[in-house]
Structure 1
Amino acid sequence: MSYDLRRSLLLGLKHLSPGHVFVAPALLILFVFFLAPVAGAFVMSFTDFDIYALADLKNLSFIGFDNYISLLGSPLFWKAFGNTAYFALVGTPLSIAVSLGLAMALNTPGVGLKPVFRTVLFGPYVATLVAAAIIWRYMVDFQYGWVNRGLGVVGVPPIDWLGDPHWSMPAIILFAVWKNFGYNMLILLAALQKIPDELYESARVDGAGPWSRFLHVTLPGVSPVLWMVALLTVAGYFQLFAEPYVMTQGGPAQSTFSLLYYMYQDGFKYWNLGHASATAFILFAILIGISFIRNRSQETFA
């Protein structure tokens, strides 16, 4: 290393503040394990990177937007997109409704053992997703599952939850709601506890009933947090993968075939990594669009 280069490096380090020194390792890790792979995947989405390119980079060629055009013309891609949108658009309001209802129940004065109920209700969220999905798969088994046995007690014939295309996605939605409501519940419970009790007392004095108090006190009080929870839930539900992978393998009749499952098969089963990277960035664009719509909607109703 030349004297001038060493002198320049020493001068540069001299002007670094302690904050820069402490932040530098985290920024380096972020660059190596996040920014660089994302940039590499974005470039890869414009190539025909496949198993032959893995063997020899001479087989790699730049193909422009062909991967994106191929995806948008693929019926299987649109099937996966429709399944994912159905899962997110039905599962999100259902999950938020369950979370808000239980948060309001826990926030009710006079309810005892609140720490115990919070812990129990939060339990499904901290359970391992794959293990919970396997247990759920056995619970909804057509012949031996507890769910169908319970339905049989009340005279309802057994339902092939994971083998019938009409019931497979609803079964996965119910599992996802059960698995994830605890996280949103705690966030909404914290928001409810920030609403002053005086507002409810004033509403009661003015003759407002429970429904009116919910519409005019509770909802406005938690609306900013509710928007955030909705965005996080939609973003999470658009990344549906583990549930169909463990429970249905995308079936039956591709009724639970999601965008991430499509990307997984494309990239790691058929080794079409350029195509899979394009799928990832289309999903990224969808999530950015959802975030933009959410922000504009919040500004409109604020």
Structure 2
Amino acid sequence: MAVYAIGDVQGCLDELQRLLDRLHFDPAADRLWFAGDLVNRGPQSLETLRFIRALGGRVVSVLGNHDLHLLAISRYADRLKARDTLLPILEAPDRDELLDWLRQRPLFHHDATLGYSLVHAGLPPQWDLDLAQSCSREVEAVLRDDTHCRDFLAHMYGNQPDTWSAQLTGHDRLRFIVNACTRLRYCTPEGMMEFRHSGPPGSQPPGFLPWFEAPGRASRGLNVLFGHWASLGTVTSPGVHPLDTGCVWGHQLTALRLDTDKPERISIDCPGARRPGQAG
């Protein structure tokens, strides 16, 4: 049995299937971990969601910001953006089954046997494993409750609060948790998050650094797999495993094999994935 972690697919099903062919993926035995953002911007969001859902218990997928955006616009259509490629899902006869499956996904996943943790974007410097797990469960419980889910999705968008405090409550607390897990790239050494800059390290404003370089980061002992940051490039920090290599922008789709003594990185080129009119 092989276990592979795969970066942001974003509706690029043809590229995902080419990568699985390259991996000689056996759906009867192997397992796949997805770093979130299964949908949006690519041309096959509906088909991608159907394909991954059909793999059943062989799949672990954490929620990304685009997955949460899909859940939000399914309740509040005015949130739909011009470049979203999500309408086929919203108009599909099986939309309710697909959306229900999606909102059952976790924000954070940890496998003690394999020794890896999976999140879409990052972890605030104050969060250790226990806090990451407990905070993600708070949001997961809300998303899985019909009444509370609708209310939270109406209040999910926004950049504040931008710094963790155990005293956060209500929508502020849930919004911080979602933003940390699905949008974080840069923060200050104290953990104040910055969301406007998505370029590679060195392009960020003064005073900010990649979340995984925060001094004294409580999750430093974990092996963290994450996506969301297509421009990040090579990372040499121990325990830091970026997976988003920009498939939807015409670059690569990447998998990391987790069940071997030394993780093996496998990528395919995706020159045909980028669609006219799309920007980074």
> Which bin holds the TM-score, normalised by the shorter protein?
under 0.3
The structure with more radius of gyration: 1
The structure whose residues are more often helix, as a share, is 1
